[in-house]
Structures are given as C-alpha cells and as structure tokens.
C-alpha cells in the first residue's frame, strides 16, 4: 500500500523533484494506480542536502498552520478493514486534543524520539500510541529509504516489511488533509506542499481515510500532495541518527525509487 507511485501499504503520494523523480505516491498497504506527477522542480549540486532548491521553495507552499482546537477531546472512528499483519486491538474512540506527548522507539541505530501533536491529529496520535504500547512495532524495520533531494524519508511500520501490511483497521485523515480539503470550495487548494524535514506523517493505501500503521520519518524537505496526515516531529538528536544511517544508502531495489536501507533501522521496543 505504499509508494511514491504507490508505496505499498502506506504511502506518501509523491512527485518528481530535483530534476529527478519526486516520486509518485507513497502508498501503504495495497497497490494502486500511478499518481499524476506535477511539473518537476529542478535542483543544483549546490543545494543543501536536506533542503529544497530556491525554485522549489518559491513554487510549492509549506504545510499551513494548524487550526485552533475547540474541544479538549475528539471522537475517533476506527474501522476494521482487511487482515492484520499482526494482531492489534482497536484504539479508544475518545482522544485528547491537548498538548504534545513524547514517544521513544529503541532501535538498532539508537533512540528515535518523537514529539506527538495531539492538537493537530488527535485520532492519529491515539492510534499510533496504542499500536506502540501494544508492541505492534516491535521487531519491525523501516523497509524503504528514499534519499533524493525533494524526496527524503524512511518508510516504517509494516510488520511484513513489504509495504503492504497494516493493523487490520483504518481511520480518517486529519491535519493538514481536512484543512486543505475545506479550501476546495474556494478553488485554491495547493496540489503539492512541502512537508518539512523532521515531520512524521501517516502512510495510506492511496485512498482518502485509509490510514493504518505505516508512517514516514521525513529526513529532508519533501514535496507531496497534501494527502498525508502529519502528526509528530522527530527530535534533532534523532534526525542526526537517521541522517548517519541514511548516508550509507540503500539497495535501489524499489521500482518507486529508493530501496531497502543498507543500514537497518529496526524498532526493538518503545522506550
């Protein structure tokens, strides 16, 4: 379900950037058709390793500010869907919208620390924490690495390691998807936005409201359709660990671009 064109089981529906392929869709859990590709943004050898070129910055907006929270709790909908790659209990249907929370994955490259934003994506955070606490992610590896300017991320969260596995349930999109969809009536929704370095976003199956267990650790500013819920950020120390691992490259095995990381990033437990 995720792929730049279809990244397997959860995905970032991405695009060609940097004179290279900005990726099509990062889709997770199931395969789907190839996503349309916007005009490519060119790059130069002088571009910072994790930043977009000035041309891309001028052409594509970054994620918008999140809307204010108007309730201390959110009512969530988790729908049983397909078979689970690993047994998981459905999360609570009530989620807090207040403040942030910390979650640490102990991994083969050291601690990966995330700051979860309940106000932006309460139901996503609720699901992510529930799966982590159940041990759903234990022993799973980030099975795909993309490392081109404009498309830099690890794809993780699939117990099968194929990009097609999920928890056996789905749930609706949140920030920025709902916010930007609401702009459709005005005729001004952006087709592509820049998800900043350090963002953690949910991968999906290439369809709206098909979020599951897979997620993207975005290590460099990445251009995508605004279809992926952004729910957390990676701490600077953890980004440095991911950068060091990513520097060893991948096996280029994915037809979507990128491949299996040469340095495995395997989650052993939740710290």
Q: Is 11 exposed, middle or buried (0-12, 13-18, 19+ CB in 10 A)?
A: buried
Q: What is the pLDDT of residue 116?
A: 98
* Top-tier CATH class for 2-64+73-270: mainly beta
Is 4 within 8 Å of 253 (Cβ atoms)? no
223: phi then psi, degrees, rounded to nearest 5: -90, 125
Predicted TM-score (pTM) of the model is 0.84
Q: What is the pLDDT of residue 16?
A: 36
Question: How far, in Å, CA of 35 to CA of 136, rounded?
Answer: 30
- Hey, where are the domains in the chain? 2-64+73-270
Q: What is the pLDDT of residue 183?
A: 72
Question: How far, in Å, CA of 201 to CA of 230, rounded?
Answer: 4
DSSP letter (8 states) at residue 248: T
Q: What are the angstrom distances between the C-alpha of 71 and each of 63, 94, 260?
A: 23, 12, 42
Q: What is the pLDDT of residue 138?
A: 98
With CA atoms as reference, report the closest residue to 110 among 239, 221, 214, 197. 239
Q: What is the pLDDT of residue 26?
A: 57
Question: How far, in Å, CA of 180 to CA of 164, rounded?
Answer: 27
Rg (CA), the chain: 17
Q: What is the pLDDT of residue 120?
A: 96
Task: Report the chain (271 residues): mean pLDDT per 10 consecutive residues.
Answer: 39 37 46 34 48 88 89 96 92 96 98 97 98 98 96 97 95 93 70 95 93 98 94 98 97 92 97 82
Q: What is the pLDDT of residue 256?
A: 81
Q: What is the pLDDT of residue 161?
A: 94
Is 185 within 8 Å of 89 (Cβ atoms)? no
């Amino acid at each position: 379900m995720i792929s730049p064109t279809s990244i397997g089981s959860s995905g970032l529906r991405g695009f060609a950037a940097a004179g290279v392929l900005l990726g099509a869709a990062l889709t997770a859990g199931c395969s789907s058709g190839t996503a349309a590709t916007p005009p490519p943004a060119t790059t130069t050898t002088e571009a910072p390793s994790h930043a977009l070129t000035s041309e891309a910055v001028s052409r594509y907006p970054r994620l918008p500010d999140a809307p204010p929270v108007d309730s201390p709790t959110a009512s969530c909908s988790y729908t049983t869907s397909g078979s689970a790659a690993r047994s998981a209990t459905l999360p609570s249907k009530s989620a807090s919208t207040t403040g942030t929370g910390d979650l640490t994955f102990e991994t083969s490259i050291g601690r990966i620390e995330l700051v979860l934003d309940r106000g932006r994506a309460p139901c996503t955070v609720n699901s992510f924490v529930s799966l982590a606490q159940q041990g759903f992610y234990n022993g799973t590896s980030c099975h795909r690495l993309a490392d081109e300017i404009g498309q830099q991320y690890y794809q993780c969260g699939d117990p099968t390691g194929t990009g097609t596995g999920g928890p056996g349930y789905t749930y609706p999109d949140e920030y920025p998807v709902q916010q930007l969809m609401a702009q459709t009536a005005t005729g001004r929704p952006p087709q592509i936005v820049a998800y900043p370095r350090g963002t953690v976003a949910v991968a999906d199956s290439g369809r709206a409201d098909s979020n599951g267990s897979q997620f993207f650790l975005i290590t460099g500013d990445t251009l995508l359709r605004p279809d992926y819920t952004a729910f957390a950020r990676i701490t600077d120390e953890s980004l440095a660990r991911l950068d060091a691992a990513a520097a060893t490259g991948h096996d280029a095995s994915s037809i979507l671009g990128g491949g299996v990381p040469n340095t495995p990033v395997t989650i052993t437990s939740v710290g």
